[in-house]
């Protein structure tokens, strides 16, 4: 069970953040705030005390707080985000996490985005991506191992982060896009394989007994209903335009 979430309100210039998504309409700030508010409510409904940090206009992606740290029951490992425009976002998170956890830090030339790190019990999958390099993954893995955890790396081909394609939905089950099903690191788990037209819904977030899912993915919703969890569907149109997902907007611990 987790009890807290750290989040950050998006800044007015959030649409200047990094994105590869081609959209006919630019991302809308008013709508983004509405969707972010609904997300905060969902975290509260899942039983979390939600901490909301101030916007950081100098970092338009800074509301994607998940990339700045990996938080376990023992430690908060502060990352070095892999994108140049995001390096430095991690500094302002440290005092808030230090209230709850011992702090450790990734060192250069290591880079890690928290979006590449998936915890399942005491095992950590660390995606090697354009944002997380081998050096960063190795540093993170060794830190986590020092606290009694295990870890494996997984190559991330398409998609921004590992958690853009694979997430844990409880009951020893992974929600995966079809290109990850055969990965040897993911064997030993049951898998719910996403319909190829609904790959974005891989970014579904399990919080305690609640599953936060993006709205508009009916096939995936049906598949996930079999788990018997409380499902909360959230609009994510503006988030998606910025290559974001539900896991990215909070640190849960
Ligand atoms: N816009 C999210 C990211 O690229 O990091």
- Note the helical H segments in 12-133: 29-45, 94-98
Spans of the chain, pLDDT less than 50:
none
Write down the pLDDT at residue 50: 98
Tens digits of residue pLDDT in 148-176: 999 999 999 888 999 999 999 999 999 99
The enclosing domain of 200 has a CATH number of 3.75.10.10
Contact 236, 246 (CB under 8 A): yes
Is there a catalytic annotation at residue 11?
Answer: no
Q: CA 162 to CA 170: how far, in whole Å? A: 17
Write down the pLDDT at residue 206: 98
Where does ligand 1 bind, in terms of residues with CB under 6 Å? Answer: 17-19, 61, 64, 83, 160, 242-244
Is there a catalytic annotation at residue 248?
Answer: yes
Write down the pLDDT at residue 109: 98
* Candidates 36, 63, 161, 210; catalytic one: 161
**Ligand 1 atom at minimal distance to the Cα of residue 248:** 2
Tens digits of residue pLDDT in 46-81: 999 999 999 999 999 999 999 999 999 999 999 999
Write down the pLDDT at residue 39: 98
Q: CA 244 to CA 19: how far, in whole Å? A: 9
Structural domain count, the chain: 1
Find the domain containing 21 and state its range.
4-252
Q: Which tokens hold the place of 139?
A: 């540093």
- The CA angle 231-236-239, to the nearest 5 degrees, is 135
Q: CA 227 to CA 161: how far, in whole Å? A: 25
- The CA angle 98-112-167, to the nearest 5 degrees, is 95
CA end-to-end span of the chain: 8
C-alpha dist (Å) from residue 7 to 37, 39, 47, 146? 11, 10, 15, 27
C-alpha dist (Å) from residue 189 to 2, 47, 124? 22, 27, 14
Say what the pTM is. 0.97
Write down the pLDDT at residue 157: 86
- Tokens 């700045």, located at residue: 68
Write down the pLDDT at residue 22: 85
Q: CA 250 to CA 253: how far, in whole Å? A: 10
Write down the pLDDT at residue 23: 82
């Amino acid at each position: 069970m987790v009890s807290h979430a750290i989040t950050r309100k998006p800044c007015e210039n959030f649409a200047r953040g990094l994105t590869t998504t081609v959209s006919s309409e630019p991302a809308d700030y008013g709508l983004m705030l509405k969707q972010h508010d609904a997300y905060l409510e969902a975290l509260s409904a899942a039983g979390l005390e939600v901490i909301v940090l101030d916007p950081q206009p100098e970092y338009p992606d800074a509301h994607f707080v998940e990339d700045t740290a990996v938080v376990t029951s023992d430690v908060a490992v502060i990352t070095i985000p892999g994108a140049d425009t995001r390096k430095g976002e991690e500094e302002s998170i440290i005092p808030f996490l230090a209230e709850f956890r011992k702090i450790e830090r990734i060192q250069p030339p290591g880079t890690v985005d928290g979006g590449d790190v998936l915890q399942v019990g005491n095992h950590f999958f660390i995606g090697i991506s354009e944002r997380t390099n081998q050096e960063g993954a190795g540093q993170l893995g060794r830190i986590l191992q020092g606290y009694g955890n295990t870890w494996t790396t997984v190559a991330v081909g398409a998609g921004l982060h590992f958690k853009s394609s694979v997430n844990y939905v409880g009951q020893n089950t992974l929600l995966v896009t079809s290109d990850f099903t055969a990965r040897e690191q993911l064997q030993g788990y049951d898998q719910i394989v996403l319909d190829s037209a609904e790959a974005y819904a891989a970014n579904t977030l399990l919080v305690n007994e609640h599953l936060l899912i993006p709205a508009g993915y009916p096939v995936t919703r049906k598949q996930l209903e079999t788990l018997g969890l409380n499902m909360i569907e959230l609009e994510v149109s503006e988030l998606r335009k910025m290559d974001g997902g539900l896991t990215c907007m909070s640190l849960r611990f």
